[in-house]
Every structure is written in structure tokens, then in C-alpha cells.
């Protein structure tokens, strides 16, 4: 054998054997490490049989601690008097869309409006006011549901008399065929609607209703407070049944007071009897009719509406003040079961420009009369369009809200001394108070007629409008004998800025009558830059209720 070749071969075998041995040793080491790691890891996760927990101390539930939170005390105090209201609207043979259940103001913010003749304001797309039902609206058909099928809706209420008298929203029970009430002690059985209830009386203008159940005497009741004492920033609680979740309590603060929620249109249209407490306490569908409670445990409002784009709470809710509730309740439980409000038979514009107030001489306060109902108190006393009411029985009147609040609270058949301005001179008149519910007049719709195209006129350059003669059919519907109709408005012009629109009929400019095109041109030709200009205008939807006023200062 050649030993010179055998030596290298032996050396190679030894090296390969060494490497294999080292590799196996490394794998064994890794395996031991992995197993050890697994044991260590499992030891960390723990096995009861291997861990001594004899030194562990059991947890205990501590005794209740009073955290000085009045919220819980108030919830316990008031909660039992808050009820769940379920309503059922039966199928109707002929489905007709109902009128708005909230009264809207007259076309000029007057005191003789008829709620049934009004349309919702511009905020209706965002303000879901009637949120008694699970879907958002209360009552059949009005929420887009099929009026050919039975419809159930949900709301809340609170007991004010231990004999079973309950206050809630009118829109919760409006048009319902069956009304049921569940007390806090009646349980949560979804198949049990509750105790039958019947309506004692309703007031659509304030959206307040009184219902009654037959129940054992001694029912728990809420304590009503004085809403005038509530201040912006005060803590409040809302209790109700949102989404069928009974006895739900939410907290927030008073965000604002005396808040109207119907955005006035160009003619100042708002509901005069709905001025709310605004709160950021969460209010949701089903809360409607429940109480808003102050930190004294007193009800200072009834949750009525929310401003929302999602049908859920967005921190802007509205509650009818308790002082209004008390006044309405006391009338609804009376023999006639209705609210009687005084009226003098006028309408007025709630919001006017500074130019209009200067032109008509009431920049320091007062109410400008837009129209007078023939044969009623103000008309018989000689009050006319353009008069400015400045006092009642010698007491100064700041605005229309104050006028309505005073007159509506007076007894029908009594008289009142009105102080008013006419052409800058002071006058007084004794005016008979009438029943507001008997003064409403149906407004005619003046639309549907297209005026002929107008030629260039004197107001095109200064005002930015073109006018023409008023078509006979429009004049008849509006109850007027003269004026000019606006046929076009130039975008960005003076007329556009102050709110004049195509179809408006101008009857006066700066208190000077506009009977026809000639008189219109005469008045306009005398206007110059810097002049205050006030237009008396009949709007297409204003009917025969009187003119609206638009104005500004000519640039």
C-alpha cells in the first residue's frame, strides 16, 4: 500500500468526523436550550400544581362609598315618577300625510297665526323635532313608514299628580289610536305595552299634552321648579326611555335659554310660544316628553327636540320650560281642556333691518304692525299697517315676543291700553282682547302665475331689480289693488342683499304707496346713495295676512 496516499485520506476522515461531532453537539445544545426555554416559558405562564400561591390574598368588594355626587341622589328621587309611553296608530284606509304637529307662526310673525296652515322652516332638514318613535318620528306615516300597517312609537313622560296625571309632548301622543303607560315598577316585559291611558288635553302651540292613567293612589310624582331660575352653565339631568332603554339618565349643562329653534325666514316667521332651554345633556329618540332636572331635583323643563344630522344626540337638545308647562297644564285640566290665549288681531314682523326700524321710527324698541284683521280688536280701535306699538298699559314694549307674551296671557273680553306711534306722533287706543284661536285666517297661495317679461325700469340700476304690473289673478289672491311685481333680481345687487326675490309684490317704498309702475318709478328716482330704503312687500306665500318689510341702506 502506498502510505503517501493513505495519510491524507486519514486526515480527511478525522476532520469530517470532528465536524459531524461538533454539529451534533451544537444541535444537542440548541435542543436543550429550546426545551429549557420551553420549560422556562411554561414556568412563567404558570401551572397551579407548580406555583405556590399560599401567600396570595383574596380580593374583597368594599362597602359603598358616598362620592358626594348629587346625580345619583336625584336619579333615585325622580326616576320612579318618569314613565315610558307607547303609542299605536292603526292602519288607515286612505293614507294622507298629516299637517306639521308643531304650530308655525303666521306669515309675518303675527299673533293671529293658524298652526294648521303653516309649513316647516328652513331648519327642518337638520332639526328632527318629532323623535318619539324608534325610527325617529312619532305616529304612523309621518316618518315615511307604511301607513297601511300598524305603527308603534315610543316616548317618555312624568307624573305630576299622584292620581295618574302625566305630562308629555303632544307629538308623542298626536294621532295615536292607543296610548299605553309603563311605570318604573311595571317591569321590562317587551310584550306588555303597559297601562291604558287617555288624553286629557293637548296644546299644539307649545307641544304639550296631558294624559291620565287609572292606577292605585299614591303614585310617585316629580317636583316642578321655576325655570326662570335656571342659569346658563347649571348642571341638569335628562331622564327618559331612549331606544326603549327605560330609566336612562344623562347629564349636561344648560347651554342657552329662551332659544327659538325655528329659523326665521325672510319674513321673520317663527313660532311665538316655543322658546326653549337648550342643553347638551344627551337626548335621543324616545327621550321626548321626559323631564329635564336641576340639581335641586326639580323639573325645569320637558325634553322636546334635538338638533341633529344623524337622528342621535349631538349635544344640542331643547326642553320646554317648566313655567310654560305649569300654565298650559292648569288650562288643559280645566273644564274645557284647552288653552285660551288672548289676541288683538294683528300680525307683525319679528325681525326687521336697522334701516326699516329707522324709517318707521322705532329704533329704540316697539312692534311694527304688518296687518290688521278686519272686525277684530285692533281694527276696531283704529290700529293700521305701519303703526308702531310701543307700550301696553303704559309699560314699554321692546319687541314682538314681549307683546305676544303679555297679550296672550290676558283674559278674553278684557281691554288693554295700547300706546303706538304713527308718523312719529304718539297715540293711545283701548283695544278689546279676543280669543286667539278664533282669529286665524287661511292664507291664500299667490303662486302659479308668471308675469310677463319686464322692460328695463328705474330700479334696475339702483336696486338691481326689474318689475312689472301685478297680474290680476295674483292681486286677487293677495287681496291687493296695486303694486308692482318683481320679475328678476340681479345677483349681488342691493335688492339681492336685503332678500327681495322674484315674485314679491312691492306695495310701498319708505311708506310711500306704490300703486303701479309710474308711482314706483317716481319713488325710486328720488333715492340716492346712503338713503335708508324700506320696502313693504307681499310675498307669494303670505296670502292676505299683510306685508313683510325688507330694507337696507343704499350703497
Catalytic residue among 171, 280, 517, 548: 171
Mark residue 511 as left, alpha or beta (left: phi above 0; alpha: psi -120 to 50; beta: remaining): left
The verdict on whether 337 is a catalytic residue reads no
Catalytic residue among 106, 255, 288, 347: 288
- Residues paired with residue 435 on neighbouring β-strands, in sequence order: 342
Give the C-alpha separation, 201 to 251, whole Å.
Answer: 31
The verdict on whether 171 is a catalytic residue reads yes
The verdict on whether 288 is a catalytic residue reads yes
Instruction: Decide if 210 contacts 198 (C-beta within 8 A).
Output: no
Question: φ and ψ at 242, to 5 degrees?
Answer: -65, 135
- Would you call 300 helix, strand, or coil by DSSP? strand
In 70-150, DSSP assigns E strands to 82-89
Catalytic residue among 142, 207, 280, 457: 207
- DSSP-derived pairing of the beta strands 532-538 and 505-509: antiparallel
Which residue reads 336696486 in cell numbers?
463
Residues recorded for the chain: 555
- Residues paired with residue 549 on neighbouring β-strands, in sequence order: 536
Residue of 331, 341, 372, 335 whose CA lies nearest to 434: 341
CA angle, 531 then 536 then 541, to 5°: 140
Question: φ and ψ at 458, to 5 degrees?
Answer: -65, -25
Give the C-alpha separation, 390 to 428, whole Å.
Answer: 10
Residues with catalytic annotation?
171, 207, 288
Amino acid at each position: 500500500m502506498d502510505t503517501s496516499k493513505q495519510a491524507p485520506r486519514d486526515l480527511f476522515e478525522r476532520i469530517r468526523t470532528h465536524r459531524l461531532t461538533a454539529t451534533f453537539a451544537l444541535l444537542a445544545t440548541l435542543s436543550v436550550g429550546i426545551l429549557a426555554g420551553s420549560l422556562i416559558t411554561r414556568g412563567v405562564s404558570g401551572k397551579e400544581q407548580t406555583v405556590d400561591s399560599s401567600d396570595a390574598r383574596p380580593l374583597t368588594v368594599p362597602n359603598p362609598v358616598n362620592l358626594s355626587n348629587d346625580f345619583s341622589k336625584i336619579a333615585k328621587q325622580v326616576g320612579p315618577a318618569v314613565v315610558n309611553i307607547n303609542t299605536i296608530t292603526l292602519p288607515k284606509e286612505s293614507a294622507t300625510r298629516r299637517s306639521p304637529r308643531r304650530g308655525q307662526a303666521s306669515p309675518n310673525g303675527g299673533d293671529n297665526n293658524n298652526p294648521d296652515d303653516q309649513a316647516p322652516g328652513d331648519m327642518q332638514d337638520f332639526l328632527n323635532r318629532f323623535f318619539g318613535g324608534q325610527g325617529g318620528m312619532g305616529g304612523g306615516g309621518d316618518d315615511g313608514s307604511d301607513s297601511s300597517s300598524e305603527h308603534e312609537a315610543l316616548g317618555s313622560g312624568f307624573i305630576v299628580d299622584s292620581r295618574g296625571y302625566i305630562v308629555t309632548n303632544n307629538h308623542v301622543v298626536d294621532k295615536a289610536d292607543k296610548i299605553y303607560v309603563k311605570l318604573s315598577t311595571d317591569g321590562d316585559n317587551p310584550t306588555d305595552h303597559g297601562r291604558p291611558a287617555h288624553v286629557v288635553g293637548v296644546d299644539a302651540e307649545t307641544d304639550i299634552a296631558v294624559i291620565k292613567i287609572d292606577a292605585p293612589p299614591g303614585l310617585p310624582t316629580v317636583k316642578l321648579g321655576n325655570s326662570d331660575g335656571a342659569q346658563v352653565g347649571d348642571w341638569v339631568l335628562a331622564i327618559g326611555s331612549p331606544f326603549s332603554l327605560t330609566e336612562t339618565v344623562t347629564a349636561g349643562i344648560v347651554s342657552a335659554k329662551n332659544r327659538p329653534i325655528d329659523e326665521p325666514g325672510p319674513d321673520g316667521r317663527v313660532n311665538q310660544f316655543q322658546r326653549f332651554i337648550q342643553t347638551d345633556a344627551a337626548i335621543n329618540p324616545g327621550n321626548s316628553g321626559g323631564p329635564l332636572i336641576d340639581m335641586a331635583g326639580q323639573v325645569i323643563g320637558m325634553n322636546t327636540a334635538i338638533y341633529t344630522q344623524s337622528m342621535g344626540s349631538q349635544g344640542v337638545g331643547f326642553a320646554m320650560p317648566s313655567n310654560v308647562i305649569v300654565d298650559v297644564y292648569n288650562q288643559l285640566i280645566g273644564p274645557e281642556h284647552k288653552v285660551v290665549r288672548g289676541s288683538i288681531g294683528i300680525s307683525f314682523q319679528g325681525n326687521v333691518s336697522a334701516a326699516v326700524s329707522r324709517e318707521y321710527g322705532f329704533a329704540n324698541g316697539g312692534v311694527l304692525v304688518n296687518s290688521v284683521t278686519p272686525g277684530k280688536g285692533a281694527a276696531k280701535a283704529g290700529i293700521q299697517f305701519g303703526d308702531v306699538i310701543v307700550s301696553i298699559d303704559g309699560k314699554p314694549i321692546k319687541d314682538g315676543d314681549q307683546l305676544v307674551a303679555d297679550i296672550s296671557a290676558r283674559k278674553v273680553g278684557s281691554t288693554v291700553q295700547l300706546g303706538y306711534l304713527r308718523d312719529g306722533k304718539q297715540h293711545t287706543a283701548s283695544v278689546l282682547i279676543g280669543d286667539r284661536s278664533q282669529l286665524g285666517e287661511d292664507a291664500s297661495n299667490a303662486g302659479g302665475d308668471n308675469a310677463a317679461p319686464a322692460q328695463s325700469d328705474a330700479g334696475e340700476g339702483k336696486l338691481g331689480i326689474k318689475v312689472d304690473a301685478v297680474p290680476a289673478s295674483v292681486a286677487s289672491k293677495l287681496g291687493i289693488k296695486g303694486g308692482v311685481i318683481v320679475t328678476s333680481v340681479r345677483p349681488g345687487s342691493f335688492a339681492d342683499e336685503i332678500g327681495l326675490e322674484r315674485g314679491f309684490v312691492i306695495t310701498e317704498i319708505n311708506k310711500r304707496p306704490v300703486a303701479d309702475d309710474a308711482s314706483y318709478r317716481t319713488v325710486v328716482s328720488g333715492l340716492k346713495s346712503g338713503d335708508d330704503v324700506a320696502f313693504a312687500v307681499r310675498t307669494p306665500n303670505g296670502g292676505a295676512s299683510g306685508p313683510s318689510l325688507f330694507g337696507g341702506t343704499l350703497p
